[in-house]
């Protein structure tokens, strides 16, 4: 056996070995710590830079929406590139806002590109680019400014409503007592309502805020999609909404219709005083090609839309009897035309035939004796037809992007007298594009008595309708109406587009005698959502002072100089991706 003192040397060697090992480990850790600290610092900086750049985008959107709502600045501020700066913690953000070229040309659906750069000590770290577009009332399948609580959406097993619906007021639904066993969801989109309905005898906030009605008129909760305690029954909501309970939102913010329409007369004619003589007018200034519209002074007895040799034609009749005058507007987009010798062009007699090429708009005025009178304006117009009076009969086939509007502030209407179709869409099919999109804007848009009432031969309306307003007194007035609703039989219309109306007024009258159904008069209506028109609405169609984000991306970081024309997007509301 070895003595104890002989084994002491190995312990010392092991101790030295472990000390050296720990020394090298500590040295390695000391070398790694700065790397980890730097990585953590960079991660934190990157996160902060992202927050700062995002804050710049958010602030820019908020400012744009405040200007659109009229709460600050002027709308003209949005026609030019602008720059804003702010801070987020110790960071600085610099934002440039670029309106697209169509926005600069006063297109009411405004599109902007927003770039935001986050800086620290004047050094750029993060750059975010967002494209945003102003929302339009055309985004709704149905919008109701104010709903009468006695008006219900009555479900049937053929009803399909694809797009979003909003009502200022209470959402009211009606169905038969077997709906929750055999019904299919009529609403494929979302349904929002500003009102919240609480059933009698229930505490405030009970249920889902909607009013339900069955043929039995049962006031209890046996025919509602929630139970006696107000708890949702998912399978019942699935019979009403494709997305179930989440598709219904009540008590949301009211979305107001405008009390005063845009100055459409100015958009159609320009800054100069309006011509006051009755008739169809167009500005012939060569410097305003494609920027002006068509202005009609006075009532219109009939307006016929058609397509002749590939060109859009609008025939306007004013007056009656000996005072009847017919004006023909031709937009030369596909083929030219010839003005005959002996006629007059812009006040100048023509000694010989004159050939006009495409890219012009020709207004053929009523003949003066045997002489034909033409007014020729360069350009294809901005798509707006504005009438100071009521249009008593509108029908035909539309070509080109166009909005027909009347003087809403002075209670002027548009009366539909027949089918309104599109050159790019076969009758009965849903539109696929927006090349021949038609918008209508009036105090009331009415289906007139000239329309045949036959459910087997429906009236086809390919248009996006805006009827009524919220007047300066805060009252909603105007709607989509049926003339002589209580008589003249029962028909059907199919509207392909969006229906915006100030008041929810019934389109049909149900006749009952001693509790027995006798029949119906008026029109049954079917609404077909036009998603393309919702994304790219008709020209000068009323807008909403809110913005939709089309894209949001990070780009290679660089410093932001003052806004330049090269940065300004040229998207025209079309090329940007939609979400």
Per-residue pLDDT of 241-261, as tens digits, reads 999 999 999 999 988 888 766
Question: For residues 281 and 8, what is the distance between their CA atoms, to the nearest angstrom?
Answer: 116
Question: For residues 253 and 256, what is the distance between their CA atoms, to the nearest angstrom?
Answer: 9
Residue scoring higher pLDDT (250 or 76): 250
pLDDT mean over 360-367: 95
Percent helix / strand / coil, the chain, rounded to 5: 20, 40, 40
Structure confidence by residue, pLDDT tens digits, 385-409: 999 999 999 999 999 999 999 999 9
Percent of the chain with pLDDT over 70: 87
Question: For residues 162 and 502, what is the distance between their CA atoms, to the nearest angstrom?
Answer: 21
Question: For residues 416 and 305, what is the distance between their CA atoms, to the nearest angstrom?
Answer: 12
Length of the chain: 579
**Residue 516: its pLDDT value, please?**
79
Residue scoring higher pLDDT (206 or 79): 206
Distance between alpha carbon 90 and the CA centroid of its chain, in Å? 39
Token output for 84: 């804003």
pLDDT mean over 539-561: 81
Question: For residues 341 and 350, what is the distance between their CA atoms, to the nearest angstrom?
Answer: 5
Q: How many CB atoms lie within 10 A of CB 152?
A: 18
**Residue 6: its pLDDT value, please?**
54
Q: Is 568 a residue whose pLDDT tops 80?
A: no
The secondary structure of 165-184 as a DSSP string is EEESS--EEEE-TTHHHH--
Structure confidence by residue, pLDDT tens digits, 88-139: 888 999 999 999 887 776 666 789 999 999 998 888 988 999 999 888 999 9
pLDDT mean over 471-492: 92
**Residue 168: its pLDDT value, please?**
94
Question: For residues 278 and 414, what is the distance between their CA atoms, to the nearest angstrom?
Answer: 18
Are 406 and 412 in contact by the 8 Å Cβ rule? The answer is yes
Question: For residues 467 and 144, what is the distance between their CA atoms, to the nearest angstrom?
Answer: 10
DSSP state of 314: E
Give the three-class secondary structure for 269. Answer: helix
Are 292 and 282 in contact by the 8 Å Cβ rule? The answer is yes
**Which of 54-63, 82-91, 305-314 is modeled with the greatest confidence?**
305-314
* Among the ranges given (22-36, 156-170, 271-285), the one the predictor scored with the smallest mean pLDDT: 22-36
**CA distances (Å), 136 to each of 258, 466, 489, in order?**
12, 11, 36
Give the three-class secondary structure for 275. Answer: coil
Are 197 and 170 in contact by the 8 Å Cβ rule? The answer is yes
**Residue 137: its pLDDT value, please?**
93
What ranges make up the beta strands (E) of 399-450?
Answer: 402-406, 414-422, 438-442, 445-447
Q: How many CB atoms lie within 10 A of CB 215?
A: 11
Angle at 156 between CA 504 and CA 460, to 5 degrees: 65
**CA distances (Å), 559 to each of 116, 122, 276, 346, 489, in order?**
10, 9, 54, 54, 69
Token output for 124: 């750029």
Q: Is 36 a residue whose pLDDT tops 70?
A: no
| pLDDT confidence bin for 452, thresholds 50/70/90 | very high
Q: Is 293 a residue whose pLDDT tops 80?
A: yes
Question: For residues 304 and 316, what is the distance between their CA atoms, to the nearest angstrom?
Answer: 7
DSSP state of 274: P
**Which of 2-11, 27-36, 362-371, 535-544 is modeled with the greatest confidence?**
362-371
* Among the ranges given (267-271, 422-426, 460-464), the one the predictor scored with the smallest mean pLDDT: 267-271
Identify which of 378, 377, 379, 374 has the alpha carbon closest to the alpha carbon of residue 347.
Answer: 374
Q: Is 75 a residue whose pLDDT tops 80?
A: no
On the 0-12 / 13-18 / 19+ scale of CB atoms within 10 A, 32 is: exposed
DSSP state of 409: G
Q: Is 263 a residue whose pLDDT tops 90?
A: no
Beta strand 337-339 pairing with 325-332 = unpaired
- Give the residues across from 241 on adjacent strands: 187
Identify which of 53, 67, 132, 46 has the alpha carbon closest to the alpha carbon of residue 95.
Answer: 53
Question: For residues 122 and 93, what is the distance between their CA atoms, to the nearest angstrom?
Answer: 10
Mean pLDDT for the chain overall:
86
Sorted by sequence, the CB contacts under 8 Å of residue 257 that are 6+ apart come out as 137, 143, 145, 468, 469, 470, 476, 500, 502, 542
Are 330 and 377 in contact by the 8 Å Cβ rule? The answer is no
Cα atoms found within 13 Å of the Cα of residue 232, Cβ hemisphere only? 14
The secondary structure of 59-123 as a DSSP string is HHHHHHHHHHTTSSS-GGGGGS-EEEEEEETTEEEEEEEEE-HHHHTT-SS-EEEEEEEEEETTE
Sorted by sequence, the CB contacts under 8 Å of residue 194 that are 6+ apart come out as 167, 168, 169, 250, 251, 252, 253, 254, 255
Q: Is 563 a residue whose pLDDT tops 50?
A: no
**Residue 573: its pLDDT value, please?**
36
Q: Is 220 a residue whose pLDDT tops 60?
A: no
């Amino acid at each position: 056996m070895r003595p104890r003192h002989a084994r002491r040397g190995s312990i010392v060697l092991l101790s030295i070995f472990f000390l050296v090992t720990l020394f090298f480990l500590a040295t390695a850790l000391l070398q790694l710590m700065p790397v980890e600290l730097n990585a953590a610092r960079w991660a934190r900086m990157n996160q902060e830079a992202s927050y700062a750049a995002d804050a710049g985008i958010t602030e820019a959107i908020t400012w744009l929406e405040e200007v659109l709502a009229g709460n600050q600045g002027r709308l003209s501020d949005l026609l030019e590139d602008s720059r804003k700066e702010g801070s987020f913690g110790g960071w600085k953000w610099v934002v440039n806002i670029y309106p697209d070229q169509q926005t600069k040309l006063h297109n009411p659906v405004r599109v902007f590109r927003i770039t935001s750069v986050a800086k620290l000590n004047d050094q750029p770290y993060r750059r975010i680019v967002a494209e945003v577009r102003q929302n339009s009332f055309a985004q709704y399948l149905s919008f109701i400014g104010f709903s009468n609580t006695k008006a219900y959406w009555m479900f049937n097993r053929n009803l399909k409503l694809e797009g979003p619906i909003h009502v200022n007021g209470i959402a009211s639904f009606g169905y038969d007592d077997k709906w929750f066993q055999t019904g299919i969801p009529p609403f494929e989109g979302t349904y929002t309502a500003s009102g919240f309905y609480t059933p009698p005898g229930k505490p405030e906030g009970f249920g889902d805020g909607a009013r339900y009605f069955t043929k039995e008129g049962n006031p209890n909760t046996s025919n509602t999609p929630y139970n006696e305690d107000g708890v949702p029954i998912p399978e019942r909501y699935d019979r009403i909404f494709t997305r179930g309970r989440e598709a219904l939102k009540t008590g949301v913010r009211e979305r107001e219709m405008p009390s005063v329409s845009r100055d459409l007369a100015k958009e159609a004619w320009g800054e100069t005083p309006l011509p006051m003589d009755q008739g169809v007018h167009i500005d012939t200034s060569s410097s305003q090609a494609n920027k002006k519209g068509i202005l009609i002074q006075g009532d219109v007895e009939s307006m016929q839309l058609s397509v002749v040799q590939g060109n859009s034609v609008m025939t306007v009749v004013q007056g009656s009897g000996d005072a009847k005058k017919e004006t023909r507007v031709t937009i030369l987009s596909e083929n030219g035309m010839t003005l005959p010798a002996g006629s007059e062009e812009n006040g100048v007699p023509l000694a010989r035939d004159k050939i006009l090429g495409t890219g012009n708009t020709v207004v053929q005025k009523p003949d003066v004796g045997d002489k034909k009178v033409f007014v020729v304006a360069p350009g294809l117009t901005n798509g707006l037809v504005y009438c100071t009076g009521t249009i008593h009969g509108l029908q035909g086939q539309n070509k080109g992007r166009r909005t027909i509007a009347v003087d809403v502030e002075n209670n002027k209407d548009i009366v539909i007298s027949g089918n309104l179709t599109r050159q790019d869409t076969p009758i009965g099919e849903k539109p696929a594009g927006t090349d021949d999109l038609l918008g209508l804007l009036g105090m009331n848009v009415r289906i007139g008595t000239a329309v045949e009432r036959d459910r087997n031969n429906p009236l086809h309306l390919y248009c996006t309708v805006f009827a009524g307003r919220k007047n300066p007194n805060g009252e909603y007035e105007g709607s989509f109406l049926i003339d002589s609703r209580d008589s003249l039989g029962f028909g059907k219309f199919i509207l392909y587009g969006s229906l915006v109306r100030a008041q929810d007024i019934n389109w049909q009258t149900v006749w009952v005698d001693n509790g027995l159904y006798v029949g119906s008069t008026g029109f049954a209506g079917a609404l077909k959502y036009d998603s393309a028109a919702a994304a790219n609405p008709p020209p000068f169609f009323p807008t909403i002072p809110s913005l939709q984000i089309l894209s949001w991306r990070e780009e290679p970081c660089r410093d932001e100089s003052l806004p330049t024309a090269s940065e300004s997007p040229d998207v025209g509301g079309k090329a940007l991706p939609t979400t």
